[in-house]
Structure 1
Amino acid sequence: MEQPKYIIIAGINGAGKSTLYQTHKSIFEQTKRINADEILKKNGGDWRNQNDNFKAMREEVKQIHEAFDKRISIHVETTLSGTGKAQLNLIEEAKFKGYEVTLHYVTLDSAEKAIERVNQRVNVGGHGIEPEVIRNRYDQSFKNLPKISYKSDNVFIYDNSKVFKNVYGREKGVVRYNYLSKYPFINISLNYTEKV
């Protein structure tokens, strides 16, 4: 039986998580997409309404647990902007159930660039986020990156400040490429050659 996959696409709002999904479809082949923003839209929710957002997030988590119970390969999106505990718990559950966990982290060189991209998205009918929330999430997401990557079997980091660039890649404990030193804004204190 093939090992199921739990793929995490992470990065702050506007970084390009959905763009990665749309432009690199082969990465996500044979995985079910579970996305709170898409659940919100499908259910006719309003991104400005906190209750609608919470309902969509609860539904997303419910669908993730159901997929784990059935050993269905899935991919999700997250900003990694909370404490990181929820995502760590999901990773632990996935690993307990035999999943291979892969993290794809998309970043930008500034929070201001993320704000600008979110504003562009809103102008064409997409969902928005308050600028101050994005600024806070930018720093918090970087803080959570080491602990999430450390627990992941495979880690890929991309800079999307101008165009998608591969910054770092580790597969099954082996670092394939590491250009982190060229991206000082990715201020990470973890030795990526190690893995739990």
Structure 2
Amino acid sequence: MPLLDQRPIMVVIAGPNGAGKSTFFQAHLSGCGLRFVNADILARELDAEPYQAAHLANALRRSLVAQRESFVFETVFSDPVGDKLAFMCESAELGYTVVLCFIGISDVRTSEDRVAMRVSQGGHDVPSQKLAERLPRTLANLKLALVSIPHVWVFDNDDLLTPFRLAAVYERGKPVTIGVVPRWLKPLLP
């Protein structure tokens, strides 16, 4: 991916809990040589509470931008105040190539099932109520990102037999590739 060769670059892997963000990183980005900022990994490595790890990840991201370092970070993208979206826009204004890789799934039930599968394999849990609260905010932030983030790649990950199916690519708010658009994405497209 020539776009990923640009520096400084910030690649944001966003999507609901259980969508497959960490798996996407391992499958598609881990070999790119970019530092991976992940609050879940920080929490595990530092034996920190999730809230504390999220603050540490935020501080690390800001520090990397101040140093003009390239990196990848993962987010559920469900903040109601648009902080992550603003951070991406600010970074683009500072000269970063900002690429949003959004990993989508169709509903809260899929999120619950995937989180339960992760827990059965020793991963972290997220309460069902939080999953239900986060999904609409995640999709609302994607809708805004499609018109404000320079490079947005949207992947559908509903079907684990055909994971990370490219559904749409937007460049500077304009569609450049539209594949098979999943039901959950249709109302979000500009």
Quote the Cα distance in structure 2 between the aligned partners of 1:24 and 1:72: 20
Quick one: which amino acid aligns to residue 5 of structure 1?
I
Query: Which residue, 43, 46, 49 being the options, matches 2:46?
Result: 43
Quick one: which amino acid aligns to residue 78 of structure 1?
T
- Gap runs ≥5 in structure 2: 1-5
Q: Does 1:156 align with 2:160?
A: no
Matched with 2:3 is none
Q: Does 1:96 align with 2:93?
A: yes
Matched with 1:62 is 59
Q: When the two structures are superposed, what TM-score results if normalisation uses the length of structure 1? A: 0.85
Once superposed, what is the RMSD of the aligned Cα atoms? Answer: 1.9
Matched with 1:48 is none
Quote the Cα distance in structure 1 between the aligned partners of 2:103 and 2:83: 19
Quote the Cα distance in structure 1 between the aligned partners of 2:173 and 2:182: 22
Residues 107-132 of structure 1, C-alpha deviation per residue, up to 9 Å, x if partnerless?
A: 11221011011011111110010011
Query: Which residue, 2, 6, 9 being the options, matches 2:13?
Result: 9
Q: For 1:1-196, what aligned pairs fall within 5 Å after superposition?
A: 3-25=7-29, 29-45=32-48, 52-162=49-159, 163-171=163-171, 175-179=175-179, 182-191=181-190
Quote the Cα distance in structure 2 between the aligned partners of 1:184 and 1:112: 15
Once the two structures are aligned, what percentage of the paired residues are identical? 25
SS in 1 for 2:100: strand
> Larger deviation: 90-99 or 100-109?
90-99
Q: When the two structures are superposed, what TM-score results if normalisation uses the length of structure 2? A: 0.88
- Gap runs ≥5 in structure 1: 46-51, 192-196
SS in 1 for 2:79: coil
Quick one: which amino acid aligns to residue 39 of structure 1?
L
Aligned residues of 2:9 and 2:96 also touching (Cα < 8 A): yes
Quote the Cα distance in structure 2 between the aligned partners of 1:150 and 1:84: 17
Distance 1:92 1:165, change over 3 A: closer
> Moved runs in structure 1, 4+ residues, more than 4 A?
none
Residues 10-39 of structure 1, C-alpha deviation per residue, up to 9 Å, x if partnerless?
A: 00100010111111127x613211111100
SS in 2 for 1:155: strand
Distance 1:63 1:169, change over 3 A: same
Matched with 1:49 is none
What is the aligned length?
182
SS in 1 for 2:153: strand
